[in-house]
Every structure is written in structure tokens, then in C-alpha cells.
Amino acid sequence: MASDQTRSAILAAAERLYADRGFGDVTLRDIVAEANVNLAAVNYHFGSKDELIAELFVTRSIQTNRERLNELRAAEENGGGRASIEDIMRALVGPTLRGCLGPDREGSTAARFMIRASIESVPPIRRIKNREVDHLRKFAAAMRRAMPASSDTELYWGLHFALAMAHHTIREKERLLRLSEGKCDLDDVRGIIDRVVTVSVMALTMGDVPSKPAPRTVAMHGRLTRQDL
Amino acid sequence: MASDQTRSAILAAAERLYADRGFGDVTLRDIVAEANVNLAAVNYHFGSKDELIAELFVTRSIQTNRERLNELRAAEENGGGRASIEDIMRALVGPTLRGCLGPDREGSTAARFMIRASIESVPPIRRIKNREVDHLRKFAAAMRRAMPASSDTELYWGLHFALAMAHHTIREKERLLRLSEGKCDLDDVRGIIDRVVTVSVMALTMGDVPSKPAPRTVAMHGRLTRQDL
DNA sequence: TTGCATTTCAAACATTTGTATGAAACTATC
DNA sequence: GATAGTTTCATACAAATGTTTGAAATGCAA
């Protein structure tokens, strides 16, 4: 118990190295060298390399999920028990996008680690991801409350597409930057979140919209407003 | 030259094994065993394991790109030199989605291989993907012709989101299936393509939607279960 | 056939990797 | 301060893996 510091040194070093160089290029020996601890310490404290990775990922996942749910709850309380679909989507994609694209992304090893985890998808992480469906159900439930007229199918597709845009933006931001030759400003996180939320809401309200979806007057901070609309 | 058959046997076996078990779990020894060739044959014919993987991926990528461009060109010829934005998006996401979600997906090792490549993203493949921006420019150009009023920024974001939805659907189809408890029909490839195209076009046109709804209402079976991590 | 290039083969190589071991150092409790 | 439990350490282990090697086999032209 006394020497929690070895444990945390390993965790910190591992997260940093994985974030910087990816899972494929980092060995236990790299980690213990970075952490200034003995090689055997990893197996002593974590059991195995995979369990170390799993602990890293679970910790960060819980953290992200908590942020998401906090935002969702805040939106629901704000709306007297029911959040708007827009706020729900914002709570879903906001924390991740802010964490991984935010201005502190250079310093935030946590965010960079999660990006790596999203890109490389090593076995222990995949195993966890597959069990991560549960907390999405909370969002599905909130969405159902916000759009009682929509079918579950539409709802899940909307949820799915929202995550698609958020994650793909994180995963492929380099490529988008190169493709657009810098024209897509990936530092404007608020603008990106607005963009993803707007499209998500449109995707959700298109199919079975009883009333007109009322041209999105979402607060658009970026250069989103333009000629069309 | 005589023994191209060893080369192709290796390619076929490798693609099959990678498709089935992923890059992480398949060794050169597995491949040569499956191909009934000698271990050294891989290095003799391909130089290294990475070059073998690269060749597999490049071959399939070229194939997909060709399909995309064919579809794009067909749409342009059909429209007298200019394709509608809708057809452009369809040409962009159609081939991939059909290939990876299509009914022959059980038999098509090629498609399953590309899914793996998309999920696991091993170094030699990543290197290639990063140089794959060029042919997307052809789509950007077509989009520009179809929507001359739109800014390049909007255009690239639309392109990006379209790919996001397509790829994420392929990557996470298992999870979506589980999350939606089967309510999202992932065998209805045409419906999925319509969905992605519709949302993409909406994202590009920001509101003025050409009516193109295709909501599939599925009878509700099963109930959601709650559970926390 | 002879000769030359290409291809195949079995075996070995060289590393890298995660993990296990057993002793030593440390810590806390009595 | 002795003892039991915990943690650290150097080292060894075992297995896997991509790659190389040099000889044997094969194909092919003169």
C-alpha cells in the first residue's frame, strides 16, 4: 500500500508512451525505463501487460462517460426533466471532441492516449469497448424522451452517426487537414461540435418529422453560417 | 515467372487469414501453412511481411477506388458532364458499403480483409492510407462542380462526414447491432447507403433537404435492459 | 546433356517479448 | 527489535517471430 507511487509511475509512463508512440511500438521495458521502476513491477502490480492497458483505458473511459452523463443531466435539469435532442447530442459528442481536439491536446496525454486507443484498437481495449454499450443506452433513453414520435431505429441510427462523425474526426483529423489543405479548422473545437450536433439533429429529424425541423438556429460559433440556409 | 502460383497462394492465404483472425493473430507460419508453401517463400516473393500486407491492401484499395470513380464517371456522363451531389456521395460511399456489408460478405474475403484493415490499422497499412488523399480530391472536385456556391470548407466537411458514417458503420456494425438489439437492419445495404447519402447531402446543403426519406419501421421486439459499468 | 537462372526447402538465426523466480530490501506490527 | 508481509530487483526463462542462409530442386535455353 505504501508504494502506490510505483503503480502510478507505471500508469503515467505507460499512458505517455502509448499516447506518443502507439501500442505497437512500446514494450514493457520501455515503460519501466520511463517510469524508473523494475521490469517485474508491471506484472507484480497489474498481473500482465494487457491488464495494465485495460486499466488505463477503463479509467479514461469512465472519466469520459462521467463527463457525458454530467452534461446530459445538467441539460435535463435545465430543461425541467427533459433535455432537447440538441443538448443530448451535444452531451454525447462534446466531451470526447473537446478532450481529443482541445487546445490542451499537446499537453493532455490522456486525450492522446484515447485517440491512440481509438485508432489502433488493441485486443484488451477491444474487449472493453464491446461491453461499453450500456452507457449509450442512457443516451438512447434520453433521446427517446426528447423525440417520443421517432422510432427506435431512427434513434439508434442518429446516435450511431453522431458517434461516427465525432470519432472519425478524431481519428482522421490529420488526413482531413491535409485533404482540405488547412481549410478545415480543426482547432475550432466549438465549431466542430456545433457542426456534428447540427448534422446529427438533422439526421434524426429528417425521417419522421411531424413538424418542420425549424432551420437550425443552433448557436454557431464557427464560420458555419453561410450562403445556404 | 513460372511460379506465380506460389505468390498468389500466399496472397490468397494471407488475405483469408487476416480477414478471419486479424493482423495481430496471424503469423507468417500460419500463412505459409495455409498456402502450403515454404516459410522462406514469403520473404523471397515479397521481401518482408509488411510488404506482403502492403500489397494486399494496395490491391484492394485500388479496386475500391476504381469502383468509386467508375460510379462517379457514370453519374457524370448520365448527367451530361455534371453529377448531382447526391450521386457523387453515393459513388463515394456506395462501393465500400456494398463491399463490406453486402450479402456476400461471408464469402468475400476481400471485403472482410478491408474491414480488418479499417479496424486494426497496422503500420504498413497506415502508411499507405496517409498517401491515399489524392483520389479523394477527384471527389472534392466533382462536388465543387455540383455545388459551386459552397465554400471548400463546407465541402470538405461534407466529404469527411460521409466517409465517417460509412466507415463507422462498417467498423462498428457489431456494436450498433447489439446496441439497437437488432432494430437497425445491417443487411439492408441499400437502405444504409440511402441513409448515409441523405444525411451527407443534408450536411452539405444545410437544411434545404430534397425529400428522400427512407425510414424503416421495425416492429419492436425485446426491451432495453439497464446495466452499469 | 550442359549450364545458368529461378524457385523451393529445411534449418538455423537473431531478436524481441512478456512473464516467472528467488533473493534482497523495505515496512509495519507486535 | 524480531517477524511477517509487502515490494523491489537482477536475472533467467520460454516462446514466438521475422528473417537469413546455403543447398537442393526445378525450369529453360543453347
pLDDT in tens, A156-211: 999 999 999 999 999 999 899 999 999 999 999 999 999 999 999 999 997 543 33
Rounded Cα distance between A175 and A203, Å, is 25
- Give the pLDDT score at B208: 45
Give the pLDDT confidence score for residue B58 in this predicted structure: 96
Is the pLDDT score of B214 beyond 60?
Answer: no
pLDDT of residue A3: 53
> Which among B165, B168, B217 is the nearest to A153, CB-wise?
B217
**Positions of E strands within chain A:** none
Q: Are A49 and A11 in contact (CB under 8 A)?
A: no
User: Is the pLDDT confidence value at A139 over 80?
Assistant: yes
Quick one: pLDDT at residue B212?
38
Q: Lowest mean pLDDT of A33-47, A167-181, A211-225, B89-103, name the range.
A: A211-225
Q: How many percent of chain A have pLDDT more than 70? A: 87
The rounded distance, in Å, linking the Cα atoms of A12 and B79 is 57
The pLDDT score that the predictor gives to residue B104 is 67
Single-letter residue type at A193: I
pLDDT tens-place string over residues B113-151 = 998 898 888 999 989 988 888 899 999 999 999 999 999
Residues in chain B with CB shorter than 8 Å from the CB of A195 are: 157
Asked whether the CA dihedral B83, B86, B92, B96 is positive or negative, the reply is negative
Cα separation, A216 vs B93, in Å, equals 26
Quickly tell me which residue has 443552433 as its cell.
A218
Out of A115-129, B81-95, B178-192, which region has the weakest mean confidence (pLDDT)?
Answer: A115-129
Q: How far is CA A149 from the centre of its chain?
A: 28
CB-based contact, B141 to chain A, within 8 Å? no
Measured CA B29 to C1' D20 distance, in angstroms:
15
Torsion of CA A104, A107, A111, A115, to 10 degrees: 110
| H helical segments located in chain B | 4-21, 28-35, 40-46, 49-78, 85-101, 109-120, 123-130, 134-146, 152-171, 173-179, 189-205
- Per-residue model confidence (pLDDT) at position A206: 76
Number of H helices, E strands in chain A: 11, 0
pLDDT for res A180? 95
Give mean pLDDT, residues B47-70.
95
Write down the pLDDT at residue A136: 95
Cβ B24 vs Cβ A24: under 8 Å: no
The pLDDT assigned to A228 comes to 29
Mutate to test the interface with A, among B25, B116, B120, B157 (most CBs of A within 10 A): B157
Decide if A175 touches B, using CB distance below 8 A. Answer: yes
Residue A217 is predicted with a pLDDT of 37
Give the CA B51 to C1' D15 distance in Å: 25
Higher local confidence (pLDDT), A187 or B223: A187
Q: Could you tell me which residues come within 8 angstroms of residue A79 by beta carbon, excluding any fewer than 6 positions away?
A: A87
Q: What is the pLDDT of residue B3?
A: 54
CA–C1' span, B69 to C23, in Å? 68
Mean pLDDT in chain B?
Answer: 86
How confident is the model at residue A210, as a pLDDT?
Answer: 39
Q: Which stretch of A75-79, A139-143, B135-139, B208-212 has the lowest confidence by average pLDDT?
A: B208-212
Res. A103: pLDDT tops 70? yes
Q: How many CB atoms lie within 10 A of CB A162?
A: 26
Q: Is B154 on the interface with A (CB under 8 A)?
A: yes
Q: Is the pLDDT of residue B215 over 60?
A: no
For residue B117, give the chain A residue with the closest CA. Answer: A120
CA distance A90 to A201: 10
Q: Check residue B115 and give its pLDDT.
A: 85
> At residue B37, what are phi and psi to the nearest 5 degrees?
-130, 170
Q: What is the DSSP letter of B217?
A: P
Does the structure show a pLDDT above 90 at A15? Answer: yes
What is the model's pLDDT at position B105?
59
Contact A32, A10 (CB under 8 A): yes
pLDDT of residue A226: 31
Nearest nucleotide to the CA of B4, by C1', is C7
Any idea how long chain B is?
A: 229
Write down the pTM of the prediction. Answer: 0.86
Whether B35 and B27 have beta carbons less than 8 Å apart is answered as no
| Closest by Cα among A222, A220, A225 to A184 | A222
| pLDDT value of residue B225 | 28
Residue type (1 letter), B24: G
For residue B60, pLDDT beyond 70: yes
Question: pLDDT by residue (tens digit) across A27-41?
Answer: 999 999 999 999 999
- Phi then psi for residue A228, to 5 deg, are -75, 150
B178 CB within 8 Å of a chain A CB? yes
- Check residue A33 and give its pLDDT: 95
Contact B201, A163 (CB under 8 A): no
Which secondary structure element, helix H or strand E, spans residue A10, and what is its range?
helix A4-21
Q: Which nucleotide is nearest to A43 (CA to C1')?
A: C19
Cell of B185: 437492419
Angle A165-A87-A188 from CA coordinates, rounded to 5°: 50
